[in-house]
Structure 1
Amino acid sequence: MKLTQNAMFNNGNKLGSFFYQYLATISGCLSIICCGMHFGWPSPSLPELLDPNSTIPMTSEEGSWLAAMPCIGAPIGDIIAAYMADKIGRKYSMLITSPMYVASWLLVAFSPSVFVFALARIIAGAADGIAFTAFPMYLGEISDSKIRGILGSSIQVSMTTGMLLVNIIGLYLNISLTAIIALVFPVLHFITFWFMPESPYYLLMTKNTDAARRSLQIFNGTDDVDQKLKTVDQAVKEDLENTSSIWNLFTTKSNRKALLICFCLRSIQQFIGAYAITFYAKMIFDEAGENISASTATMIFFSVQLFVAIIASFLSDSLGRRPLLIISIIGSGIALAVEGLYFYFEGKIDMSGYSFVPLLALISYVIIYNVGVGCVPIILLGELFPPNVKAFALCLCDIWFDIVVTFMSKFFQLMKDNFGMHVPFFAFALFCGIGLVFIVLCVPETKGKTLEEIQLILKGKSKKNHDIELEVNT
């Protein structure tokens, strides 16, 4: 297999310096598409299962738990990935997700009961946890600083693509046929990602210098990687001077700062209503009095998300992370406040002339959210942590994300049912204001910075002073 891989990559420098970085990203994103398909699966499937004529009787409560099962299974995968990413590597951790997704789709396709559906969803959730721990890590370590933003943004694009695909397929086919078609993606992921090189950072962590050199040559499209190899090797050695332990996340100031930034940004994503609105989009349209079918509303919602996520992936490397976050959260706050105002005045005054407002505000929110807040936090996951704690950090961040998603979905339902639809939207808008303050005060700009330079920023050092220190020590 080594010979096959060498033959495949030995012409890399003829195809452009970033060619194989893009190729590895596309291959790895097939796993994220699988995650998006499982996440979006309840939208077209639950109505079929909850139908009185369903061959598998299911209550509404069972359906709601079934939708949440991936978030319950994800922490299992997060913990597994935190161990495996440093033991067998980022690449092979990602490959493990493929048979897990295959198994989960087979269970869905031939499920005889609610229990089997739940088991399938938990397995898929565990695979999601592995993918969202290992893949941002892998992308951050293989990508050049000039294109790390667009490669990192591909995760959000792929997630949205998966949700849109499963809704399109599920609209025309039954649950079993949808699951069988979905099997194509994990199989393609396994076949293509098998040939991708391992992260050079991981290879240097395991003292495999020759393989790390080869990995850098492939990903950079040149044989001249001596200086880059030396830089990465020095950074890895510095990081590994500290024992690779979860406690290093809390005992080292720069790691604590990175963890705080990622925890808060992932929380902000959900506190301003991202997935809660996704879950209840059709209900929002119904309550607003719009005559939009569930399938039409879903297609509009996810199609707009996908289009904007693709555009945003190109902006993060040109405009920078901080400007996109600031613009995005301000615009989201305005759109959410407008949505809340409409529902507040509905029933109090005649709003028939403004029936277009809820749809317009929600689509505006989808657009502006995905420009920055939707994609930038995922990019930062792969940028802010040093190699010795990255696996633990991404594990904790993803577990926290699953908890917040579950909490905010319930929050939306409780506020809507007990106080009215306007209350959760006003709350989301308020969180946008809080999030804006945090972003302005705490989030660093990482555009165009190498991973080593980002660590210096978190430590409060300049690159010049750091280089002087190295010269003195050597």
Structure 2
Amino acid sequence: MESNEISLVTQTDNRKFRKFYLAAVAALFGSISMGTGLGYSSPAIPSLQSVNSNVHLSDADIPWFGSLLAIGALIGGPIAGFAIDYFGRKLTLMLIPVVFIAGWLCMIFSHSTGLLLFGRIVTGFSCGLVSLAVPVYIAETAAPDSRGLLGSCVQLMITLGILLTYVVGKYIEWKWLALFSMTFPAILTILMIFVPETPRWLLSNGKRGDAIKAIDFLYGSSLNAEAECQILESNISQQTSERLSWRVLLLPHVLKPLFLSLGLMIFQQLSGINNVMFYTVSIFQSTGSAMDPNDETIIIGVVLFLATLAGSLLMDLAGRRILLLVSAFVMAFSLAVLGTYYYLDETVRNSYNWLPLTSMIVYIAAFSIGYGPIPWLMMGELFSVKVRGWSSGIATFVNWTFVFLVTKEFHFMIELVHEYGAYWIFGSLCLLSCVFVATVVPETKGKTLEEIENYFQAKKQLLHSINASDNDLENI
């Protein structure tokens, strides 16, 4: 059972510094790299539209430049699932920077829009690899009493990468910003040299001696590495014997948590969050605010980082459902206000030029405490261990699909229903997500993974009971 996984690690001396924190820090440079990729388009687009740029983005190119990252990530996610099993978690994380740097180099040396967009796809492909590989590496190296904290750092470091890109992008043009972004994947490769492969992968591939060395490094000599290996081998043997076909995903007690996870992922993107992340500077330019759009964008990045940190701390205190409901309702309100601002006459808007930044700050803060981290957290909580890999892969694929659809069609929405209509639509979808959470999403706060699995198994057992009763009646 998963509850036994690395069970002896909690018996180590907590007063001693355990090196699995170093392993997590190394891997988290992958998340920072992903954040720079996500945040790059916002400061880069105005620079690429400048008359001084040797590559010029037209208005028709901008939606593609923002959304093609998601197309690359759609491809990278499934490939990462294969790579971490075939090459190992550590080697995959060491190879990802090669792809990242190749994408940034395509943009740096591009003399045409085509090569620039291709570089955007390649960096997106790397983001897809990171989005799966980093959480798996951290989950398999961290001790149980630190896994939640380090797991939440994945999202936090992504927001840090976005913030760094916003800040640096104010002062340098798009080529130098791409060069700056290359430094983080390079650091990832260097740091991963000094940390081990995960013990689970090593044991799964018959490298028991290396697994014992990895356990000694990660948790210290106070842990009985031999006993820990035996526990891991037992878990691996059990999970291997329980591998099921894809048809298991169609069973009701598996389909319902998959439906819930997909719903959260879809509503996360229908909130319009990545339109803000990808086009922040352009959005603020359109508001007519007297403040520098780059300064407003940096403020948004700071709020994103601090609110994500607050959300991580509130997660196990307030509960998932209440944070999702508060998050969706406040986002709907702030988007309604922002849409109303765009609806007003320009002369009236001049008296309220502070409103767009205020609305965006509230919107970002609300997203960061709820709909930002919780769909990813609950993805890991809702699925049973036997289908977690497949189900998580489907949920991740759907998430990146909607990233592409929403960001690609954002400018079309503005042309069709204007800015105010677009923001009102996203606000209405946030309200709809409140209904979804209130009616079907269960609270998982304080529950073990076994209790959550039993919650979805209950209806299956009830159905079996009813069928058994029907068979008994037929035999009378």
1:47 and 2:46 aligned: yes
* Equivalence for 2:277: 278
Please tell me whether the aligned partners of residues 137 and 390 of structure 1 are also in contact (alpha carbons under 8 angstroms): no
* Equivalence for 1:421: 419
Q: 1:78 to 1:51 in 2, by over 3 A?
A: same
Once the two structures are TM-superposed, the CA of residue 189 in structure 1 deviates from its matched residue by 0.7
* Equivalence for 2:301: 302
Once the two structures are TM-superposed, the CA of residue 381 in structure 1 deviates from its matched residue by 3.5
Q: Distance in 1 between matches of 2:252 and 2:175?
A: 50
Q: Deviations over 1:332-368 (max 9, x none)?
A: 2232233334444x13995655443332222111111
Once the two structures are TM-superposed, the CA of residue 30 in structure 1 deviates from its matched residue by 0.7
Alignment coverage as a number of residue pairs: 449
Q: Distance in 2 between matches of 1:452 and 1:217?
A: 29
Q: 1:148 to 1:329 in 2, by over 3 A?
A: farther
* Equivalence for 1:408: 406
Once the two structures are TM-superposed, the CA of residue 201 in structure 1 deviates from its matched residue by 4.4
Once the two structures are TM-superposed, the CA of residue 259 in structure 1 deviates from its matched residue by 2.5
Q: Which amino acid aligns with 1:190?
A: T
Task: Structure 1: give runs of 5+ residues left out of the alignment.
Answer: 1-11, 462-474
Q: 1:64 to 1:425 in 2, by over 3 A?
A: closer
Q: 1:44 to 1:285 in 2, by over 3 A?
A: closer
* Equivalence for 2:173: 174
Q: 1:416 to 1:175 in 2, by over 3 A?
A: closer
Q: Distance in 1 between matches of 2:248 and 2:127?
A: 23
* Equivalence for 2:159: 160
1:70 and 2:69 aligned: yes
Please tell me whether the aligned partners of residues 328 and 371 of structure 2 are also in contact (alpha carbons under 8 angstroms): yes
* Equivalence for 1:339: 338
Q: Which amino acid aligns with 1:92?
A: L
Q: Distance in 2 between matches of 1:52 and 1:424?
A: 30
Q: Which amino acid aligns with 2:361?
A: I
Please tell me whether the aligned partners of residues 149 and 316 of structure 1 are also in contact (alpha carbons under 8 angstroms): no
Q: Distance in 1 between matches of 2:212 and 2:201?
A: 12
Once the two structures are TM-superposed, the CA of residue 97 in structure 1 deviates from its matched residue by 0.9
Q: Distance in 1 between matches of 2:22 and 2:248?
A: 32
Q: Distance in 1 between matches of 2:308 and 2:25?
A: 15
Once the two structures are TM-superposed, the CA of residue 40 in structure 1 deviates from its matched residue by 1.7
Q: TM-score, normalised by structure 1?
A: 0.82
Q: Distance in 1 between matches of 2:196 and 2:234?
A: 21
Q: Which amino acid aligns with 1:417?
A: E
Q: 1:24 to 1:453 in 2, by over 3 A?
A: farther
* Equivalence for 1:376: 374
* Equivalence for 2:99: 100
* Equivalence for 1:435: 433
Q: Distance in 1 between matches of 2:19 and 2:322?
A: 29
Q: State the percentage of identical aligned residues.
A: 29
Deviates more, 1:351-360 or 1:230-239: 230-239
Task: Structure 2: give runs of 5+ residues left out of the alignment.
Answer: 1-10, 460-476
Q: TM-score, normalised by structure 2?
A: 0.82
Please tell me whether the aligned partners of residues 42 and 277 of structure 2 are also in contact (alpha carbons under 8 angstroms): no
User: Once superposed, what is the RMSD of the aligned Cα atoms?
Assistant: 3.3
Once the two structures are TM-superposed, the CA of residue 248 in structure 1 deviates from its matched residue by 5.2
- 1:73-472 to 2 correspondences below 5 Å: 73-203=72-202, 205-206=204-205, 219=218, 222-224=222-224, 235-243=235-243, 247=246, 250-344=249-343, 346-347=344-345, 350=348, 353-386=351-384, 389-447=387-445, 451=449, 454-460=452-458
Deviates more, 1:209-218 or 1:418-427: 209-218
Please tell me whether the aligned partners of residues 76 and 129 of structure 1 are also in contact (alpha carbons under 8 angstroms): yes
Q: Deviations over 1:82-130 (max 9, x none)?
A: 2223333333332221111122222222223323222322221111111
Q: Distance in 1 between matches of 2:228 and 2:453?
A: 16
Secondary structure of the residue that 1:59 maps to in structure 2? coil
Q: 1:214 to 1:427 in 2, by over 3 A?
A: farther
